[in-house]
Amino acid sequence: MNEKPVIELIEVTKTFGSEQVLRGINLSVMEGKTTVIVGGSGQGKSIIIKHILGLIKPDSGKVLVYGKDINNISKKELKEIRTNFGVLFQNAALFDSMTVYDNVALPLRERTNMSEKEIGEIVNEKLALMDVPGSNDKYPAQISGGMKKRVGLARALVLNPKIVFFDEPTTGLDVAKSNEIYRVFFKSQAQLGYTSVIVSHDVPKIFKLADYVAMLNNGIIEACISPEEFQLSDNPAIKNYVETTMGPLYSSEGMEGG
């Protein structure tokens, strides 16, 4: 085992108002692997990603990225760590007053000294990788939800990040469109080899992508194990989740029985 963790959450807690959302999260994300965080709606899965991105500070506990506690470093160091990140937000978070092309070009314009010609080549290459043809001059409001996600993914990948976060990449999309997102995910990860953290409801489909599945339940991570182990787990919370989301056929009992 020469896998090394690039992200570690240690006993992270977070309370909003009177509601304790995270009650001591422990999670390690391994380099080059895909970790999927699953769990019921409103459990705080996206909150975990926001903690890793440094958008929310924990009440207690540590968030280590490349061994550095991102809540105890300077703004400059945090910015440096974030240069390794690519993020696909739940609603894609495209800049609505910019065209598709400008959205994808923005990180290159702001973070590199490339010429417009070089930027154009990279942007068109990424948009082609995501299968978004002929939409360069359209505004986000003029394209479909699936397309927005693909443009968001193109923007997230434009600087070849080492870690990519996907917050509900297929929520709100029909089966064909979500399959398309998975296809571009496979294609881009095979090409770029990034570490990925995915928050998703799309069980069991998402298991095909996962190296590890972590389940958030009542503010703690129940387990972070392989999809096979997850489906066969004896942990009552995981078992219950597998049964309710995938049907008894997939659970350990169902498999034993059948």
Q: Give whichever of 10 and 93 is closer to another protein, judged by the CB atom.
A: 93
Q: Is 22 exposed, middle or buried (CB count within 10 Å of its CB: 0-12, 13-18, 19+)? A: buried
What are the Cα distances from residue 118, in Å, to 12, 121, 124, 159, 188? 42, 5, 10, 13, 20
Residues of span 44-103 touching another protein by CB under 8 A: 50, 53-55, 79-80, 82-83, 85, 87, 89-91, 93-97
Q: Give whichever of 87 and 127 is closer to another protein, judged by the CB atom.
A: 87
Residues of span 146-175 touching another protein by CB under 8 A: 155, 159
**How far apart (Å, rounded) are the C-alpha atoms in residues 246 and 50?**
28
- The yes or no reply on residue 4 touching another protein (CB under 8 A) is no
Q: Which of 106, 114, 192, 220 binds another protein (CB under 8 A)?
A: 106
Residue type, 202: D
Question: Please, what is the minimum distance in Å from the beta carbon of residue 90 to another protein?
Answer: 8
What are the Cα distances from residue 78, in Å, to 65, 66, 110, 168, 186? 10, 11, 17, 24, 29
- Letters for 115-134 (x = contact with another protein by CB under 8 A, - = none) are --------------------
- Binding footprint of another protein on the chain (CB under 8 A): 50, 53-55, 79-80, 82-83, 85, 87, 89-91, 93-97, 106-107, 110-111, 155, 159
